[in-house]
Amino acid sequence: MRLPPAIVGHAEEVLREILRFTGPADVTLSRYFREHPRLGSRERGVIAEAIYGLLRNKSVYTSFSESGSGPAMRRLTLLGLADAAGVDALGGLSDDEIQWLERVMQIDRSHLSLAMKSNMPAWIWDKFVAKLGEEEALKLAESLNVPAPLDLRVNTMKSNREDVVASLAAAPIIAEPTPYSATGLRIRKKPSIQNLPLFKDGTIEVQDEGSQLLAQLVGAKRGEMVADFCAGAGGKTLALGAAMRNTGRLYAFDISEKRLAKLKPRLARSGLSNVHPVVIAHEKDAKIKRLAGKLDRVLVDAPCSGLGTLRRNPDVKWRQTADGIAELNVKQSSILDGAARMVKGGGRLVYATCSVLDEENEAIVEGFLATHPDFVLVPASKVLAEQKVDLEMGDYLKLMPHIHQTDGFFAAILERNKTVAAPKPEVSEAEAVEE
């Protein structure tokens, strides 16, 4: 069935705004669809798929769009729509446009340069090649340019993986166990799960398997004091709370009240009562200083480039810059330093990012260890074995989409020496956090 001719205009209009890269593509798309409620679900789906396809393949499509005639933005839009729905599905095209599209779609892309095939900005591609070599860099780039499957985490406070698989099958939704996370499920197609009873009652949460593994590395136990230092909307916070079996005290810190507000409905569904969301001004907030030396475990999922999440957020690679990475590095070091103050002697600090760049990962950890002799690096291989995760790693957790089928993640496990006194809190724990 052909799409209405007007869909080209809608796709072109929203693409023009997104390519200004002034904000996240998903936010812009959602707002555009709200402003145009007469667009049907099929039209919205095709537009979204075309936009995301263009963002994933922008280098190639920009090159292709230089041929043909007419406005360049229209040609770029037509390429995205043709890839998403097929040339035959597009209505209102001229004969010249149809012929051009059919010709372009038949181009053998295997003859393109590796840099063009990567569909990465030159500075990112150069970093990938320097790190991995051209062949492996292309595998990484291509895996980041493929849409991610839908990963779920089973809330073990409410159910188990086997029962959830059976319940989903009745929907019918086919889910398979993730290979590494014992609480993870993977759905190859992307059904709408928001209306499922399992989602509404907090039995399942959407969470990439890699993110689930970060929570496992923390190793949170019953009765402990734990903090998710950059909690955001709280996906890892909820996983930590379930691991603690709803005991102890779990702080969810973030500088954004808006992000923490998104945690509240998820928290209500989860059945957890040991989570305490706290808005902080910065990593040196008095609320942090007052907990100095008191926490058993702290997770720092630091603000980063997000280049490990390009399967879900392809616009990030075009919005991010090399200068932006350098600014993030300063923030990452400062946040890790602030979070470390809370860890007690013998306690664990996990530094993590959803980046694949060394300067956001190993370099930050090495700098931290050089200035914090009271902390030591615990090999990720050791902690994974303790958690019964069948995954071969060295000193660090390094998850890559082309190898592990997760988003790109990095994590380092650090422990404070038991014989070294941790910083003393300025006040008692009872006064520590105003909630």
Q: What is the pLDDT of residues 310-357, one digit of tens each?
A: 999 999 999 999 999 999 999 999 999 999 999 999 999 999 999 999
User: Which pairs from 428-432 meet CB under 8 Å and 24+ separation?
Assistant: 429/291, 429/294, 431/290, 432/287, 432/290, 432/291, 432/294
> Residue 109: exposed, middle, or buried by beta-carbon count in 10 A (0-12, 13-18, 19+)?
exposed
Which of 24, 43, 27, 32 is closest to 81 using CA atoms? 43
Q: What's the pLDDT tens digit per position in 93-134? A: 999 999 999 999 999 988 999 999 999 999 999 999 999 999
Q: pLDDT tens, 23-56?
A: 999 999 999 999 999 999 999 999 999 999 999 9
Three-class secondary structure of residue 352 per DSSP: strand
Rg (CA), the chain: 23
Question: CA 219, 220, 221 angle in degrees (round to 5)?
Answer: 115
Is the pLDDT at 431 greater than 80, yes or no?
A: no
pLDDT at 421 over 70: no
pLDDT band for 400, please (50, 70, 90 cuts): very high
Is residue 289 within 8 A of residue 425, CB to CB? The reply is: yes
Residue 354: active-site member: yes
Residue 320 has what DSSP assignment?
A: -
> Does 426 score more than 70 pLDDT?
no
Average pLDDT along the chain? 94
User: Which pLDDT value is given to residue 2?
Assistant: 86
What confidence tens digit (pLDDT) does each residue in 61-70 have?
999 999 888 8
What would the DSSP string read from start to end of 22-51?
A: SS-HHHHHHHHHHH-TTS-HHHHHHHHHHH
Q: What is the pTM of this model?
A: 0.93
Judged by DSSP in three states, 194 sits in coil
- pLDDT category of residue 418 using cuts at 50, 70 and 90: confident
Q: Which of 278, 354, 399, 400 is catalytic?
A: 354
Question: For position 435, what pLDDT does the model report?
Answer: 42
